[in-house]
Chain A
Amino acid sequence: MAWVNAIIQGVLTGGLYALFACGLSLMFGVMKVVNLAHGDLAVVAGYVAIGVIAVTHIPVLWSFLIVVPVMALLGYVLQRTMIQSALDRSVLTTLMVTFGLSVVIENGLLQFFTANSRAIGTGLPLVSGSFKLGSQIQIGYLLVVVFAVAVVVLLGLQYFLSTSKYGRLIRAVADDREAAQLAGADYRHVFGIAAALAFGTVALAGIAYGMYSQLQPTTGTDTILLFAFAAVVIGGLGSLWGTLLGGVVLGVAQQIGAQINISNEVLAGYIVFLAVLVLRPQGLITRRAQS
């Protein structure tokens, strides 16, 4: 029964990891940018949410309505300025610039908000409560809600990309930038829109993690960025549903590792990631051939 519990918990945490990953995946898919500051920006979103809640005393769930648009706007601005000008130089420059941004954000948070961990206290029964399946399996409502949100976000992204005007533009620019430009698309603006979408999901991920666990300045890299990347690689590149699958596999691997010994949780996830890298790198190779 303990193993069944581990698998169920793993599947549900997989939803959280898919939420971490979809912004990373989207930005790589459209702009070929691997944003190394991805996780730190999620932590920033979490800290902003904590600040907004503390100052305005609004209900926790309302904080999403403020933080997600703010982060999306930040994404558009960052893409149009820093990331775009790095991209105009070379792919390696985008790596150096986003890595620099990651270190600056992480140490900035450390400097201004100390290394103390902070949680987004919700106080809502929906979030802190749980229900029981049988006698041994206890499932937190929060994880179920996060999983549902992840599925809704992935569905929404897919719907947006395949049917809306901007979705078509994004796909066109991702497929062939020059051709899209010839047809009149302003690719910089389209990149900005894609970054705004990605940063919106980053904000969701940061706040969700702040509710589920605790945020520290280092959470952005050692948890969010690396888990997101592992989920993307395990699931296969370029597919939003692959991202969900990758998140679920990573979550299950971690929970099974933790079941063997609690100190194995993170390591088990990385070992599965490395195994996939060695045994099933097809997705990686096709992507390499394109870029």
Chain B
Amino acid sequence: MSLAAETTARSAQKFRVTRSRRNVAWTGAGTLIVVVVLALFPYIVYSGTTTIMVQAFIVLTMASMWNLLAGYAGLVSVGQQVFVGLGAYFVLILAIHGTSPFAALPVAVIGCGVAALPLWWLVSRLRTGYFAIATWVLAATVMLIIEKFSSIGGGTGMPLPGLSGFSPALLTAYTYWAGLAVTVVALATIYLLLRGRLGLVLTAIRDDEVAARSSGARVGLARLLVFVVAGAGCGAAGAVLAISQLQVQPGAVFSVQWTAEMAFATIIGGLGTIEGPILGTVVYLVLQQTLATYNAWYLIILGLVAILVALFARRGLWGLVDEHLNVRLFPVGFWLRTTGTAGRSGAMKGTAKGDSEGGQ
């Protein structure tokens, strides 16, 4: 046996690489139970609660997408509202032409994914701060162009047709299920993408872009894919928004407030973990509901908390949870574990942890 082969064999004995320190089956079962319970909500709770939940689904979907951009691909976009607006307008245009808004939703998602391609071409050369403001200018430009078309409401917008056939209770329930479906699909997509090749490439880019490039990682393609997925996801959120609001106004759907909410929820919850945006959305919802009567105060407080978290607790609330309890609900990285007698027993945390956390 050659030395190299022997070394490989020996290390294979002593180390084992796993996704998680624990069995993830319970997470899967737990997630399934949560989704089923959430799906039954329209039968259990008042419609006021489901309306608030729809808002939570919209913010959670957007925050997860923003997390994918900023936390994994290092792209801080301040113009994600362009996709929220486009998603809403895709639904509106299809509804004007007789399609049910619910049937228009998947079309809007694909439409936003396709629209992300030319927009990416415009901003892909830019990095960091310039990328951020350029996406913002793009969002403003797209809104100004859409306002030119009076057949879809021009500058004032218009009510969403095609929903008058539903009874109010049924409409609320359908909207809720649409929101839940969008959120579940969005989170599942992100989880599977990050578990796969893309997750590895993004982790490599985060650690050292030049090294990743020279090892053959297709950096540009990875970023393009992330931008398209995030565009489609924010478009889905925008489509649900249009259905839940029953109207589409350019100033409202293209508002930078959406990006503020998705960014703050992500930063507070924990950038670069799938769990972070979920926790951040809970914080967002609690603050927003508590301060609902004080206009913009919830956004001011969210912003201040996000600044403090970005400066003093970079991994966010989930980072604190992970630090103390060592829990990963959606493990996308790898753990190196020692199994042989030579090494210390148990997992080697830290040095061998190839997990994607902490952003840049």
Contact = CB atoms under 8 A, between A and B. Distances in A.
A101 interface: yes
B141 A229 contact: no
B225 interface: no
B141 A267 contact: yes
Nearest to B298: A107
A274 B133 contact: no
* Most central of B132, B256, B263, B310 by chain A CB within 10 Å: B310
Interface of A is mostly: helix
A281 B303 CA distance: 33
A99 B128 contact: no
Interface in A244-287: 263, 266-267, 270-271, 273-274, 277-278, 281, 284-285, 287
A107 B304 contact: no
B304 A104 contact: yes
A96 interface: yes
Nearest to B76: A95
B287 interface: no
A86 B310 contact: yes
B134 interface: yes
A278 B122 CA distance: 6
Interface in B312-360: 314, 359-360
Interface stretch (A3-11, A137-145, A203-211, A219-227): A219-227
A272 B6 CA distance: 64
B78 A288 contact: no
A187 interface: no
B1 interface: no
B78 A99 contact: yes
B296 A107 contact: yes
A100 B76 contact: no
Nearest to A230: B137
A221 B137 contact: no
Given A92-B70, A93-B314, A99-B78, A107 B360 contact: no
Contacts of A97: 307, 310-311
Contacts of B263: 96, 99-100
Contacts of B126: 284, 288
Interface string B118-138: 000011011111101110111
Interface in B242-283: 256-257, 260, 263-264, 267
B162 interface: no
Contact of B304 (A100, A266, A288): A100
A261 B340 CA distance: 77
A288 B137 contact: no
B299 interface: yes
A235 to B, nearest CB: 14
B300 A92 contact: no
B39 to A, nearest CB: 34
B297 A111 contact: yes
A263 B127 CA distance: 31
Nearest to B71: A92
A103 B260 contact: yes
Nearest to B132: A95
B129 A273 contact: no
B144 A266 contact: yes
B303 A90 contact: no
Contact of A96 (B256, B299, B310): B310
A229 B128 contact: no
B148 to A, nearest CB: 8
**7 shortest interchain CB distances as A-B pairs:** A34-B129, A107-B296, A104-B303, A100-B307, A267-B144, A270-B141, A229-B133
Interface of B: 70, 74, 76, 78, 122-123, 125-130, 132-134, 136-138, 140-141, 144-145, 147-148, 256-257, 260, 263-264, 267, 295-297, 299-300, 303-304, 306-307, 310-311, 314, 359-360
Given A107-B300, A111-B296, A285-B125, 8 more contacts: A92-B360, A95-B132, A97-B311, A100-B307, A101-B307, A104-B303, A226-B133, A288-B127
9 contacts: A28-B129, A82-B307, A95-B132, A96-B70, A101-B307, A104-B303, A107-B303, A111-B300, A291-B128
